[in-house]
Structure 1
Amino acid sequence: MKRLLAGIASLAVFSVTGAAEPVGAALDRPALAVRAPERAVLLGATQVGAQWVAVGERGLVLRSDDGGSGWQQVPVPTSVTLTAVRFADERNGIAVGHGGTVLVTTDGGHRWERRLDGRRIAELMLADAKARQDAAGQKAAEQLLADGPDKPLLDVLPLGRDRALVVGAYGLALATQDGGKTWTSWAGRLDNPKGLHLYAVRQRGSRIVIAGEQGLVLKSDDAGQSFQRIDTPYKGSFFTLELTGEQEVVLAGLRGNVWRTLDGGREWQALQLPMPVSVVASQLAADGTLLLANQAGFVFARRGDTFAPVNRDPLPSLTGLAAGRNGALLALSVQGAMPISSKP
């Protein structure tokens, strides 16, 4: 647990909710009703049709049908902290979180079913390592079993209505092709022998890029069949990334470090933010503008090679960002979700 705490201590979610809260009982306990869900710690959100769906601490799943001003809690079968949510279409979505939790909805977010947890992940990774005759991987999976379901999943990438990739701490990477009924470990596809944390995953066409701690970047140009490790100039953690063009990748993370490549990872250029504060989230606005959110409560919009603050005054410490249609933008924080303008 010490390495997990050190690797993600700079993220507001972990400093607020606790990086390693006991999850054994919480994993199987339905989320309790919250009196003021709009003021809770929220970590991920996405627009689904005309509504928003957000997730956060203690198993919170919320829906808003008024642009993010008012929120209603949705019952879910777990009370572990949820870290990210994505939808493949207006009905099929996946949320991930602590304890290796994966929740699936097929009705636009009204009802959720648990399709994976840390217990099952450890079993899958052990079977995969044995099948590949990977002694180191087998040892790591045996440690997962011994530790129990205490490793968080940190991001999810829908690859179609029934297909998705989830990534998380200690190199967790698993994929499903049947809506979460069965899962396959992708650990053997990733050049990550130290089991570094995987914080974010994005896709553009057949390209998939994963960003993690200690400057780790993994790129696939064949829709995830194989991955190549990309060397980067910065060896601190990258908490988020966006694929902003056919060859352009932008990484952002610890201490406000932002780096971009225009050639798929051969050469890198630093982009300067107005303040050296950790970037915890990113989004591409509807018009393609790159948006970054940091722990100091500011959202920045990219203008060429520079970034301009979207909000004049600081918001509460930010934990996430969600962009929707027609310029809609939600800033997620330790005090809930706040609709803001995406224009500086």
Structure 2
Amino acid sequence: MPPLPMAPTGRQGSALPGAPTSSPAPAAACLPDRALNRRSWLALGATLAAATTGTLLADLTRPALAATAAASATTPALQRPAVSTALGPRSVLQAVATAGDRLVAVGERGLILVSTNQGQSWSQRPSPVSTGLTAVRFADAQRGVAVGHGGVVLATADAGQTWRQLLDGVRAAALLREAAQASGEPAALQSAERLVADGPDKPWLDVLMPGPDQLRVVGAYGLALASDDAGKTWRRWLKPADNPKELHLYAIRQRGAQWLIAGEQGTVLHSSDGGQNFRRLTLPYNGSFFTAELPADGSLLVAGLRGNAWRSTDGGATWQALTTPVPVSFTASAQQTDGRVLLANQAGMVLSLEADGRLQPLPLPPQPPLTALLPLAGDQLLALSIQGAQRLSLGR
């Protein structure tokens, strides 16, 4: 397993898994409870993928390529384009989205893949960074955005064929410091100064595109930024009171004016006015939630650590625990065209939410730890994992 980055200065006991943008931390880096999440598996996958990339590693033993690799190693990952590899579809993939009739998947080391045949085959597209990418969204068939480690935000205007960088952690920290200085809030300024001092080591963990020019990104340590001009300018989004402890924000979902954010230590934020204002919801469980959904029936659903999944049918006033057969952390979710919610966990299981509140495992072949789900036409499902992309038949 690769070493995980230690807690940045001033954040002791709060290590966040993921691929660092600079030299890794010592192998003895500990994993506190808040770190036992979806990103731990993704970090593990990065090593597994590297270990199985025999051709690439063998190539690096050739003198000319070895010299190139040594030179590129000194270039910051935020400035170094992703390495081209034929093993992309079998590499660690973390997120996938539809762009018209295309699929666009992103993963470790800046990997971006495009499929024009519903995931039957994939082609790699150039990426301007080699940091891990954690989430991808499209506003329409052409315009999309991907986010990831190092505070990177990438954008495409041609269905994933080409990408350009909109933001990184260095600029994000500077923007937050400027905003804090203008606000005169001592706590906000202290936090922003810490971000600047830490450098670009904070990942974005999810992204939303409410409109073609609207971007909302959330991530580690409560970071949240918004842009309403396609990434030309950015502003601090969530209010300090929304997340006073600066807890990690793992997932953001939207259905019309309803927005839902799920995060660390039971953090669930809900907005009914298009993300203008949020209120914190209280749940019976205070463990971390790594995914969320807003089903068409108006309910709210969050799922995460140790197989905990909760649903509310009254706007978050009360919550019901969903029955799951195994206490294994949920890592991803999706909604089928008929509205049925699917959940994936670290055991490689895909479970369907039944009408009676049970989470029923689907009869699928054994899978590695799953990172993302995407329902496809014809009762097919695309599952991403530490071993790449796989099409599965739901057989209903």
Task: State the TM-score, normalizing by the size of structure 1.
Answer: 0.95
Cα-Cα RMSD = 1.8
Please say if residues 47 and 323 of structure 1, whose CA atoms lie closer than 8 Å, have aligned partners that are also in contact.
no
- Superimposed CA distance per residue, residues 19-61 of structure 1 (whole angstroms, 9 cap, x where no aligned partner): xxx9981111000101211110000001222221100000000
Look up the match of 1:201: 252
Counterpart AA for 2:14: R
Aligned counterpart in structure 2 of residue 270 of structure 1, from 321, 328, 353: 321
Does residue 133 of the first structure (1) align with residue 184 of the second (2)?
Answer: yes
SS of the residue aligned with 2:76? helix
Please say if residues 157 and 166 of structure 1, whose CA atoms lie closer than 8 Å, have aligned partners that are also in contact.
yes
Q: Kindly tell me: are residues 24 and 288 of structure 1, through their superposed partners in 2, closer, same or farther at Cα, counting changes over 3 Å?
A: farther
CA–CA distance in structure 2, aligned partners of residues 23 and 248 of structure 1 = 49
Look up the match of 1:3: 14
Counterpart AA for 2:36: A
Does residue 319 of the first structure (1) align with residue 371 of the second (2)?
Answer: yes
After TM superposition, the structure 1 = structure 2 runs for residues 189-228 of structure 1, keeping only pairs within 5 Å, are: 191-228=242-279
Does residue 255 of the first structure (1) align with residue 306 of the second (2)?
Answer: yes
CA–CA distance in structure 2, aligned partners of residues 307 and 260 of structure 1 = 12
CA–CA distance in structure 1, aligned partners of residues 170 and 297 of structure 2 = 38
- Superimposed CA distance per residue, residues 263-308 of structure 1 (whole angstroms, 9 cap, x where no aligned partner): 1111011001111110000011111110001010111111111122
Moved more, 118-127 or 37-46: 118-127
Q: Kindly tell me: are residues 189 and 203 of structure 1, through their superposed partners in 2, closer, same or farther at Cα, counting changes over 3 Å?
A: farther
Look up the match of 2:280: 229
- Superimposed CA distance per residue, residues 197-219 of structure 1 (whole angstroms, 9 cap, x where no aligned partner): 00000011111111100000111
CA–CA distance in structure 1, aligned partners of residues 325 and 251 of structure 2 = 23
Please say if residues 301 and 310 of structure 1, whose CA atoms lie closer than 8 Å, have aligned partners that are also in contact.
yes
Any runs of at least 4 consecutive aligned residues in structure 1 with deviations exceeding 6 A, and if so which?
none
- Superimposed CA distance per residue, residues 180-208 of structure 1 (whole angstroms, 9 cap, x where no aligned partner): 11111113265111110000000111111
Please say if residues 297 and 316 of structure 1, whose CA atoms lie closer than 8 Å, have aligned partners that are also in contact.
yes
Does residue 148 of the first structure (1) align with residue 199 of the second (2)?
Answer: yes
Moved more, 140-149 or 126-135: 126-135
Deviation of 1:3 after TM superposition, in Å, equals 0.6
Does residue 72 of the first structure (1) align with residue 127 of the second (2)?
Answer: no
Aligned counterpart in structure 2 of residue 17 of structure 1, from 40, 43, 46: 46
Counterpart AA for 2:98: Q
Structure with higher strand content: 1
After TM superposition, the structure 1 = structure 2 runs for residues 325-340 of structure 1, keeping only pairs within 5 Å, are: 325-340=377-392
CA–CA distance in structure 2, aligned partners of residues 168 and 323 of structure 1 = 25
Please say if residues 310 and 341 of structure 1, whose CA atoms lie closer than 8 Å, have aligned partners that are also in contact.
no
Please say if residues 190 and 218 of structure 1, whose CA atoms lie closer than 8 Å, have aligned partners that are also in contact.
no
Q: How many aligned residue pairs are there? A: 341
CA–CA distance in structure 1, aligned partners of residues 379 and 364 of structure 2 = 18
Task: State the TM-score, normalizing by the size of structure 2.
Answer: 0.83
Look up the match of 2:289: 238
Deviation of 1:91 after TM superposition, in Å, equals 0.2
Unaligned runs of 5+ in 2: 1-6, 8-12, 17-31, 48-72
Please say if residues 54 and 63 of structure 1, whose CA atoms lie closer than 8 Å, have aligned partners that are also in contact.
yes
Please say if residues 257 and 278 of structure 1, whose CA atoms lie closer than 8 Å, have aligned partners that are also in contact.
yes
Deviation of 1:17 after TM superposition, in Å, equals 3.2
Please say if residues 46 and 386 of structure 2, whose CA atoms lie closer than 8 Å, have aligned partners that are also in contact.
no
CA–CA distance in structure 1, aligned partners of residues 230 and 352 of structure 2 = 35
Unaligned runs of 5+ in 1: none
Look up the match of 1:55: 106
- Superimposed CA distance per residue, residues 63-93 of structure 1 (whole angstroms, 9 cap, x where no aligned partner): 1122212111000100000001010000000
Please say if residues 368 and 387 of structure 2, whose CA atoms lie closer than 8 Å, have aligned partners that are also in contact.
yes
